[in-house]
Amino acid sequence: MYRATLKSIRGHIGRTIATAAAVIIGISFLAGTLIFTDSVQRAFDNLFATVFETTDAQVRSSEVVDAGFGIQVRSRIDESLVDDVAAVDGVSGVDGFVQGTATVVGNDGEPIGNPGQGPPTFGFSWTEDDQLSQFNVIDGREPVGPGEVVLDENTATTGTLQVGEQVQILSSAGSERFELVGIARFGTSNSIGGASSALFELSEAQRVLGAEGTLDAIGVRADEGIDEADIAARIGEILPAGAEVITGSEATEEAQSAIADGLSFFNIFLTAFAVIAIFVSAFVIANTFSILIAQRTRELALFRALGAARGQILRSVILEAVVIGVVGSLLGVLFGAALSYALQALLRLAGLELPSEGLVLLPRTVIVSLVIGTIVTVGSALFPAIRAARITPIEALREASAETWKRNNIRLAIGLVVTALGGVSILFGLLAPEIALAGLGAGFMFIGVFVLGPTIAKPVARVLGAPIAAFRGTTGNLARDNSMRNPKRTARTASALTIGVALVAGVTVLAASLKSSIEGTVAENFAGDVVIDSGSFGPGGGFSPQLAADVEALDEVDVATSLRVGVGEVEGSGDFIIAVEPVAFEILDVGIVEGSPTDLVGETIMLLDNNAEDLGVGIGDSIAVQFTDGIDRDLTVVGIYEDASFAGNQLVGQDLYQSTAAEQLDFAAYVRLADGVDIEDGRAAIDSVTAAYPNAEVQDRQEFIDSQSAQLDNILNLIFGLLGLAIIIAAFGIANTLRLSTIERTREIGLLRAVGMTRSQVRSTVRWEAVITALFGAMLGVALGLFFGYAIVLALRDQGEISLTIPFRALTTVVILAAIVGLLASIIPSIRASRLNILAAISSGQ
């Protein structure tokens, strides 16, 4: 029996590979994600280990503000600490260090890197102590005075900047030019993981990075023979409150785990798509096995007639699944490695050079892939296997062996119940909000629709096929009949595509709804004429406040005011805090419910209504806020507003924010032109100021509104790209089914060929069947997607104004693309079908 199984696998190697393809793709994505993150982690681990090799201890502030989203900002310490630390017995060398944001402008006038959308753009002080220095100059020399800068090798290459040239650098100090005196590597790497680094002499760095008189950290080297724990303990004794010391190895570990955290987000994100891919694969595998079992009914019945026990049949089918699962998973790991390599290459092309030390394939990756791949394959084959075991010997003698399907009301009822259950879980899950419940609900809905599929496939295929039958004549008619003859198979084949399309459609609906509400709110709430946007949001991005000041000074401008974002802890929990000038309220409407914006001066704060409610405070109450300087402040609530689109959860005055010593960078400035100035003249005047700031983009009202919603597009494209994977797997499923169906219909095709069907007509028949199947899957997917989108919009409605917008054009495109996927999937099966040897086909027994 087992030998027969293995023979069957070997005898149908093409079929086996096609089944395995689904496993391979799903697993390769999972393995690729693991290999990629492991490789990057290993490379960074080694990099930091080298970088901190000579650092025995590090002194820094103990105040950290965690704004969530992985953003942590540590306070600075007073620079006078350097001398105190140097005086500690056993310390042989110290070096003060500052860090901030400085964006380098390349020779083409474009800023290199955008912290809003990619790796950070760092500004650092140069560490004079050679042994403590993390950078090594490879060309030129280190920076020693004002007006000098050293860049990392990657940035210099990207900007085609050479030693001796003048380099424009944007920072909170404004837009300035420096002489490029040297090019350096970070450890052995050409950059810090793709981030740009501009290195200045310490006091110049303090000026440029807005850190006068302060330091971010002090690196310490101990005398020979004193170990790092010892020196750290000694330093710890003399440190004032608010400062702390860690050992060099702790610094290494921290840096490593910070990378690990960053990667883990990436990892979770990619893994979510791997899970989707594997879920879809399971459908494809289950379907393929069902068809195979149906086709082999007579063969299996013959085994039964010859004395094979049910258990033997069951085990034989499972064995086949195990073989496919194991082989598929192993190949998946192999492809995963290739995928990971390709991803690194792709990132390199995009200018994000990660330190690379080859691919890291941990045993864990192989084990996880193998276990998941095999379990999914065997699990998917289980029901078909049980069905196979139920085959009675007498079925060997029956004429028709192909799968049959009868309408079954119990099945219909179960399908409806499961679908409804899924729908309800999604709604509850999203409103609770309990994301896991919503995810489970989505899974239930897919399964429910999977159960319902066969019942609706026949009538839907009839309708979908009608125009094809009408326009394509006999071939269209046959294609339609073929898609209707086995509704169970059609529905199952389409189900994989349904999942992919449902997710794409759901995201599309959500995005359209978000966009239209963003456009609506922005248009409603912005009363100005021009926006200057940095394309960045969050600490570490933006342009100098000098820009808004210069624009305001223009004759053509009535009001120019900026928004700045920082982080702080509000009543103990980290969040973004937006800093504004009171004048901003003249052109930005945040929907003030209570209080007066003119009071937003000094130690005051304004809160979003929901936020005030959560905190249980009102006008006149005071709340505890800590900025990155670590000072506890009690701020008086002077206003409550209801629209978060510009203002976020809380607003403070820029005067207060400036006093916190946090980096002062505006992410955007809003302008109202003076009376009588037309937009062209106004823009021209503003352009003359912004010319010095290549990271500032001047937009008129409409451009601004468009760009706000365009920000979603990048994320959307990424998500669509990843969901494309599920659709590729679905395409394999369609190809697989078509292939098996045409094999099943060998005699029929032979007959058609004999009585005069040309090869191209055969291809056309297979092709249109694929299109009908794909359209069926896509329509079902769009229906589900609409529901998902609706559910999410419903859940979001609570948090802001959003209404359901159905993007008809985008959804039509999705359906058309799905039809094209079906078409592509049919290419190989249709060619195979058309090349059948007529005689062999007619006389093929059965």
Partner 1 sequence: MSKTTDNLPPRPAADDLGPPVSTGAPNGSAASARSASKVYGMGDTEVHALRDVDVSFEAGRFTAIMGPSGSGKSTLMQCMAGLDRLSSGEAFIGPQALSALGDKALTTLRRDKIGFIFQAYNLIPTLTTRENITLPLDLAGRKGESDWIDEVIETVGLSDRQTHRPTELSGGQQQRVAVARALASRPEIIFGDEPTGNLDSRTGAEILDFMRRAVDDLSQTIVMVTHDPVSAAYSDRVLFLADGRIVHELLDPTADLVFDTMRSLGD
Distances (CA, A) of 288 to 316, 618, 705, 826: 16, 63, 49, 16
Q: How many CA within 13 A on the CB side of residue 67?
A: 17
Smaller CB separation from partner 1, 214 or 764: 764
Q: Which residue has the tokens 């006999």?
A: 474
> By CB under 8 A, which span of 27-35, 198-206, 352-360, 477-485 interacts with partner 1?
477-485
CB of 28 to partner 1, least distance (A): 38
Q: Which residue has the tokens 């496919």?
A: 324
Binding to partner 1 in span 482-541, by CB under 8 A: 482, 484-485
Smaller CB separation from partner 1, 671 or 836: 836
> What does the alpha-carbon distance between residue 197 and residue 137 come to, in Å, rounded to a whole number?
13
Question: Cβ atoms within 10 A of the Cβ of 493, count?
Answer: 36
> What does the alpha-carbon distance between residue 609 and residue 84 come to, in Å, rounded to a whole number?
48
Smaller CB separation from partner 1, 49 or 842: 842
Smaller CB separation from partner 1, 285 or 757: 757
Smaller CB separation from partner 1, 350 or 840: 840
CB of 753 to partner 1, least distance (A): 7
CB of 755 to partner 1, least distance (A): 5
CB of 388 to partner 1, least distance (A): 24
Q: Is 70 left (phi over 0), alpha (psi -120 to 50) or beta?
A: left
Smaller CB separation from partner 1, 358 or 845: 845
CB of 7 to partner 1, least distance (A): 24
Q: For residue 790, which of 389, 457, 513 has the smallest C-alpha distance?
A: 513
Listed in sequence order, the residues at least 6 apart from 316 whose beta carbon sits closer than 8 Å to its beta carbon are 1, 2, 4, 5, 308
Q: For residue 774, which of 786, 763, 782, 785 has the smallest C-alpha distance?
A: 782
Tokens read off for 737: 């089914």
Listed in sequence order, the residues at least 6 apart from 753 whose beta carbon sits closer than 8 Å to its beta carbon are 759, 762, 836, 838, 841
Strand blocks (E) in 571-649:
573-580, 592-595, 604-608, 622-626, 632-641
Q: Is 466 in the site for partner 1 (CB under 8 A)?
A: no
Site string for partner 1, 55-94 (x = CB under 8 A): ----------------------------------------
Q: Is 233 in the site for partner 1 (CB under 8 A)?
A: no
Site string for partner 1, 743-782 (x = CB under 8 A): ----xx--xxxxxxxxxxx---------------------
Q: What are phi and psi of 676, to 5 degrees?
A: 85, -5
List residues bridging with 221 in a β-sheet.
Answer: 93
Smaller CB separation from partner 1, 164 or 845: 845
CB of 839 to partner 1, least distance (A): 5
> What does the alpha-carbon distance between residue 410 and residue 406 come to, in Å, rounded to a whole number?
11
Kindly state the number of chain residues that form the binding site for partner 1, as judged by CB under 8 A. 24
Among 408, 474, 598, 702, binds partner 1 (CB under 8 A): 474
Binding to partner 1 in span 15-54, by CB under 8 A: none
- E strand or H helix at 697: strand 697-700
Smaller CB separation from partner 1, 157 or 477: 477
CB of 645 to partner 1, least distance (A): 57
CB of 462 to partner 1, least distance (A): 12
Smaller CB separation from partner 1, 467 or 721: 467
CB of 806 to partner 1, least distance (A): 37
SS3 126: coil
Site string for partner 1, 247-276 (x = CB under 8 A): ------------------------------
Listed in sequence order, the residues at least 6 apart from 447 whose beta carbon sits closer than 8 Å to its beta carbon are 418, 422
Smaller CB separation from partner 1, 466 or 691: 466
Smaller CB separation from partner 1, 249 or 746: 746
Site string for partner 1, 314-353 (x = CB under 8 A): ----------------------------------------
Listed in sequence order, the residues at least 6 apart from 85 whose beta carbon sits closer than 8 Å to its beta carbon are 59, 91, 94, 218, 220, 235, 238
Question: Which DSSP symbol is given to 584?
Answer: G
CB of 463 to partner 1, least distance (A): 17
Distance of CA 414 to the CA centre of its chain: 36
> By CB under 8 A, which span of 241-249, 425-433, 478-486, 822-830 interacts with partner 1?
478-486
Among 478, 522, 554, 743, binds partner 1 (CB under 8 A): 478
CB of 748 to partner 1, least distance (A): 6
Smaller CB separation from partner 1, 46 or 401: 401
List residues bridging with 74 in a β-sheet.
Answer: 64
**Whether 120 contacts 127, CB under 8 Å:** no
Smaller CB separation from partner 1, 751 or 828: 751
Tokens read off for 326: 């194991």
Smaller CB separation from partner 1, 10 or 835: 835
- E strand or H helix at 74: strand 71-74
Among 481, 519, 589, 603, binds partner 1 (CB under 8 A): 481
Q: Is 838 in the site for partner 1 (CB under 8 A)?
A: yes
CB of 835 to partner 1, least distance (A): 10
Smaller CB separation from partner 1, 86 or 751: 751
What share of residues in the chain are helix, strand, coil (percent, to 5)?
60, 20, 25
Listed in sequence order, the residues at least 6 apart from 382 whose beta carbon sits closer than 8 Å to its beta carbon are 318, 321
SS3 261: helix
Among 70, 473, 602, 721, binds partner 1 (CB under 8 A): 473
CB of 483 to partner 1, least distance (A): 10
Smaller CB separation from partner 1, 676 or 756: 756
SS3 568: strand
CB of 445 to partner 1, least distance (A): 32
Q: For residue 457, which of 287, 615, 608 has the smallest C-alpha distance?
A: 287
CB of 824 to partner 1, least distance (A): 24
CB of 409 to partner 1, least distance (A): 23
Among 72, 157, 477, 659, binds partner 1 (CB under 8 A): 477
Smaller CB separation from partner 1, 12 or 462: 462
Q: For residue 170, which of 243, 121, 223 has the smallest C-alpha distance?
A: 121
Q: Which residue has the tokens 């510009």?
A: 646
CB of 759 to partner 1, least distance (A): 6
> What does the alpha-carbon distance between residue 80 and residue 213 come to, in Å, rounded to a whole number?
8
> What does the alpha-carbon distance between residue 268 and residue 634 come to, in Å, rounded to a whole number?
38
> What does the alpha-carbon distance between residue 168 and residue 110 come to, in Å, rounded to a whole number?
10
Chain contacts with partner 1 (rule: CB under 8 A): 473-474, 477-478, 481-482, 484-485, 747-748, 751-761, 838-839, 842
